Amino acid sequence: MKKLLLTLFMSLLALSLAACNNDEEKETDTAKSDEKTEEVAKEEETAVDPEELQKKLDEQKVEADRVVAVVNGQEIKGTEYNDALSLFQSNAMSQGQDVTKSDLAKQLKESTLDFIVGQTLIMQEVDKKGYKATEEDINKALEAEKARFKTEEEFEKALKESDLTVEDLKSQISDNVKITQYLDKDVQVEEVTEDEVKKFYDSLVSANGESKETPKFEEVKETLKGNLEQQKSQQQISAKIEELRKDSEIDLKI
């Protein structure tokens, strides 16, 4: 299956939810880490050889053409697995975890497989429902993507660095449009109330401690509401994936 623009969105969303669960713990750890001397901190910064780390990360990946799973007869190749694994590795490292340890590497492998199987099930459902992306939809979204860059050269450079062509991007956009249609029409998400947002705000203030730098509720209300809406959407998507799994044939190859 082609890489999707939504792949990144769904990955980061799922991972950000996991990160949110660790926020309070991380805040507690911050006080302890502040007690470290500057000398020890510098030693820890230089302890990891970037090239050696990347080598170990790459060792966890598989051959690009290798079939890693078969979902209802559809093969998922190593390229897609590796893309998703990189996201999971990056998120784990951003939380200070050692992804080279065998137990965590195994956990990341399982999470990656679980994610790409779920993504495949959703895409199969989207196609089954018959959702379509018009040329107008695709071109409009393509122009929006280009608008993120100052020049055409920067846009072309970004495509090259992502190992994509314009046609690849348009294909991704098409899938993203269809998924958006599916989510809007088939995934019912409860509306986020202001009371829920206020409770979310209060919990964050309580966990992090209130200070002069703490933003007022009105200043961050819309941002927090968006976060809660994303969480509810992800919960609904996860529930739908679990429902689809029950009637699917899934064969993991790694």
Q: Does one domain contain both 90 and 161?
A: no
Same-domain check for residues 101 and 52: yes
- Helix 135-146 with 152-161: angle, nearest 10 deg: 100
Lowest-confidence region among 70-74, 221-225, 226-230: 226-230
Report the C-alpha gap between 248 and 233 in whole angstroms: 22
- Say if strands 67-71 and 74-77 run parallel, antiparallel, or are unpaired: antiparallel
Out of 142, 165, 186, a domain closes at 186
Quote the CA–CA distance of 229 and 221 in Å, as a whole number. 12
Predicted pLDDT at 47: 58
Same domain, 123 and 150: no
Q: Across the strands, what pairs with 40? A: none
**Side chain identity at residue 16, one-letter code:** S
The DSSP code for 132 is -
Q: Which domain holds residue 182?
A: 132-186
Q: Compute the mean pLDDT over every residue in the chain, rounded to the nearest whole number.
A: 82
C-alpha span between 179 and 157 (Å, rounded)? 27
Same domain (yes/no): 16, 60: yes
**pLDDT for position 48:** 67
User: Tokens in use for 42?
Assistant: 């510098």
**What would the mean pLDDT of 83-112 be, rounded to a whole number?**
91
Angle between helices 217-246 and 102-129 (to 10 degrees): 80
Q: What is the pLDDT of residues 22-52, one digit of tens each?
A: 444 444 444 444 544 454 444 444 456 888 8
Same domain as 138, residue 30: no
Give how far the C-alpha of residue 55 lies from the chain's centroid of Cα atoms, to the nearest Å. 23
Using alpha carbons, select from 88, 64, 60 the residue that is nearest to residue 76: 64
Residue 172 sits in the same domain as residue 204: no
Question: Which tens digit of pLDDT belongs to each residue from 122-179?
Answer: 999 999 999 999 999 999 999 998 998 999 999 999 888 877 889 988 988 998 899 8
With 90 as the cut, is the pLDDT of residue 198 above it?
yes
CB 10 within 8 A of CB 237: yes
Phi–psi pair at 61, nearest 5 degrees: -85, 170
Output the pTM of the full model.
Answer: 0.71
Tell me if 85 sits within 8 A of 108, measured CB to CB.
Answer: yes
Q: Looking at the structure, do residues 151 and 218 belong to the same domain, yes or no? A: no
Domain final residue pick, 145, 166, 186: 186
Query: What is the tally of structural domains in the chain?
Result: 2
Boundary (domain end) residue, out of 186, 207, 230 = 186
